[in-house]
């Protein structure tokens, strides 16, 4: 089925907060009406969801529409889709429109696991007379909305009515018959944001942790091919990535102190493939023991209460290494090993900027190193091009003197932060060697 195209065809794709992975992601699909309220909806939901927008002049049934939509969904996994199509291709038959909607639903369900919410099309008014409905075109909109309601009911998709609220406010309209003044787009954004907030609040995610945990908070999304649950503990963002293989009988887990980069590291992938879980908590750059210790305690208590192994592998990212070493020294019974990246102390002027003078230098003080060494906690340190003579080497030397086991891997050319090895096997081997 191919629809007659307009003289000028266009599409727009926008994604906001692309680096945020701890919020559900919503895609708004529609035409210029969506383009008008997209930014306002994103602003209203900024604390609840990351919002994107796809707008096109093509009607459902046009092959080009699906090619464009496929591009819009290619890079960012979507958790919710709020969609509409109905104000273009007004010369197509009701039968063709119904068929196009069914095609669209099949396309969305084939290419995404997102929850779908349909939005009815808005009224069309007379050109130059926004106070009057178009006698020729608005009946088409009414029929299409009726068809859409029937189709969505068939596929068990909820319907949000934006036609009636816009019908009741002719002062929102501009003179071209289709679009809205700022007051109108703001009112649309209020309506849509309220609908989506309700959907987010009422979601009932089930994160089946391969049989041993089924009741879990947060929302479920894709993490580069892995199933991931993002959630909050007392306001702190956390993630739990589910293994690709059957989980180990010991319920092993790797724990990172950042929410992670856009995708898991090679070490994460390797462990996920061996049945490990990977947990993240936002605890980097806290510059002091009180808050970081609270967060570490909180996540460990929560996951072990669900059946996870009491002992984990604790991994730092960036400058959280000293915080990890300090917490591990006070919780040696909860640690299999430490995997640190660039665990340098900071210069005094940075300490002052942090509001916690001297606290970070104390994180790697000898008392902590001795406690870790006495407890036989093995340490792996992935080191970048920071001055090793001022940071890594003194710690390495002292830890060995105290009887501790430490392995250092130097990643040359990495600047300040090594972050990862392309070949994770040396780190994976270290982790597996020291399981208890």
Q: Which domains does the chain have, with CATH numbers?
A: 11-202 (3.40.50.1110), 219-433 (3.40.50.1820)
Residue 190 has pLDDT above 90, yes or no: yes
Q: What is the mean pLDDT of residues 178-205?
A: 89
Taking residues 410-418, what's their average pLDDT? 57
From the list 297, 37, 321, 322, the residue with the least C-alpha distance to 183 is 37
Read off the pLDDT of residues 219-237 as tens digits, 9 standing for 90 and up.
777 777 788 888 878 878 8
Residue 383: the pLDDT is 78
39 has pLDDT over 90: yes
CA distance 52 to 74: 12
Handedness of CA 281, 286, 291, 297 (dihedral sign): positive
Task: Kindly tell me if the per-residue pLDDT of 50 is higher than 60.
Answer: yes
Asked whether residue 85 carries a pLDDT value surpassing 50, the answer given is: yes
- Indicate the helix (H) or strand (E) that contains 34: helix 32-44
Amino acid 203: pLDDT: 61
pTM over 0.75: no
* Percentage with pLDDT > 90 across the chain: 52
| Among 18-27, 43-52, 94-103, the least confident range | 18-27
Residues 84-103 have a mean pLDDT of 95
What CA–CA distance (Å, rounded) separates 345 from 364?
Answer: 8
Q: Which residue has the higher pLDDT, 131 or 245?
A: 131
Q: What is the pLDDT of residues 285-325, one digit of tens each?
A: 665 677 888 889 999 998 998 889 999 999 876 567 778 88
- Does residue 263 have a pLDDT over 70? no
- The residue with greater pLDDT, 407 or 346, is 407
Confidence of residue 359 (pLDDT cuts 50, 70, 90): very low
State the pLDDT at residue 18: 82
Residue 276 confidence (pLDDT): 94
**What is the residue-wise DSSP string for 237-285?**
EEEEEPPSSPPPTT--EEEESS---SS--HHHHHHHTTT-EEEEE--TT
120/413: higher pLDDT: 120
The highest-confidence range among 42-56, 273-287, 293-307, by mean pLDDT, is 42-56
Q: Poorest-confidence range of 138-152, 217-231, 372-386?
A: 217-231
Task: Give me the mean pLDDT over the 323-341 stretch.
Answer: 90
Gyration radius from the chain CA atoms: 27
Listed residue (44, 71, 43) closest to 55, CA to CA = 71
Does residue 155 have a pLDDT over 80? yes
The per-residue pLDDT of the chain, averaged, comes to 84
Stretch 26-49: mean pLDDT, rounded? 95
**Percentage of residues in the chain with pLDDT exceeding 70?**
82
pLDDT higher than threshold 50 for residue 360:
no
Mean pLDDT over residues 65-84, rounded? 92
Q: What is the mean pLDDT of residues 73-85?
A: 91
Alpha carbon distance 279, 259 (integer Å): 8
Q: How far apart are CA 325 and CA 335, in angstroms?
A: 11
Judge whether residue 2 has pLDDT over 90.
no
Mean pLDDT across 123-140: 96
Distance of CA 295 to the CA centre of its chain: 20
Give the HSE-up count for residue 114: Cα atoms under 13 Å, Cβ half-sphere: 24
Three-state DSSP class for residue 79: coil
Q: Which of 207-211, 255-259, 398-402 reaches the highest mean pLDDT?
A: 398-402
């Amino acid at each position: 089925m191919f629809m007659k195209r307009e003289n000028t065809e266009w599409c727009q794709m926008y994604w906001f907060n692309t680096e945020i992975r701890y919020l559900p992601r919503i895609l708004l699909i529609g035409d210029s009406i969506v383009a008008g309220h997209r930014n306002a909806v994103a602003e209203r939901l900024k604390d609840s969801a990351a919002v994107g927008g796809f707008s096109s002049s093509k009607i459902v049934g046009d092959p080009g529409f699906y090619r464009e939509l496929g591009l819009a969904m290619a890079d960012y996994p979507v958790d919710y889709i709020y969609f509409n199509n109905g104000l273009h291709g007004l010369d197509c038959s009701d039968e063709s429109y119904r068929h196009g909607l069914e095609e669209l639903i099949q396309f969305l369900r084939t290419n995404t696991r997102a929850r779908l919410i349909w939005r009815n099309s808005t009224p069309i008014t007379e050109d130059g007379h926004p106070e009057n409905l178009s006698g020729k075109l608005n009946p088409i909109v009414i029929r299409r909305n009726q068809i859409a309601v029937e189709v969505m009911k068939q596929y068990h998709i909820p319907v949000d009515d934006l036609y009636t609220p816009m019908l009741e406010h002719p002062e929102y309209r501009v003179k071209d018959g289709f679009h809205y003044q700022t007051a109108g787009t703001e009112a649309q954004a209020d309506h849509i944001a309220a609908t989506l907030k309700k959907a987010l609040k009422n979601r009932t995610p089930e994160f089946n942790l391969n049989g041993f945990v089924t009741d879990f908070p947060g929302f479920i999304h894709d993490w580069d091919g892995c199933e991931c649950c993002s959630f909050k503990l007392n306001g702190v963002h956390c993630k739990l990535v589910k293994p690709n293989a059957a989980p180990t009988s010991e319920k092993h887990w790797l724990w990172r102190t950042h929410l992670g980069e856009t995708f898991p590291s090679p070490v994460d992938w390797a462990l996920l493939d061996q049945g490990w879980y990977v947990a993240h908590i936002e605890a980097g750059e806290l510059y002091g023991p009180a808050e970081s210790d609270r967060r570490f305690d909180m996540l460990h208590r929560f996951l072990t209460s669900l059946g996870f192994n009491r002992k984990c592998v604790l991994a730092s990212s960036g400058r959280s290494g000293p915080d990890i070493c300090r917490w591990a020294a006070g919780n040696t019974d909860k640690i299999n090993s430490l995997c640190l990246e660039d665990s340098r102390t900071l210069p005094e002027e940075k300490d002052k900027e942090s509001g916690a003078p001297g606290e970070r230098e104390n994180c790697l003080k000898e008392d902590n190193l001795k406690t870790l060494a006495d407890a036989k906690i093995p340490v792996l340190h992935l080191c970048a091009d920071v001055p090793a003579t001022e940071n890594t080497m003194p710690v390495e030397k002292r830890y060995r003197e105290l009887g501790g086991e430490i392995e250092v891997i130097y990643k040359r050319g990495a600047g300040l932060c090594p972050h990862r090895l392309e070949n994770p096997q040396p780190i994976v081997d270290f982790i597996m060697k020291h399981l208890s």
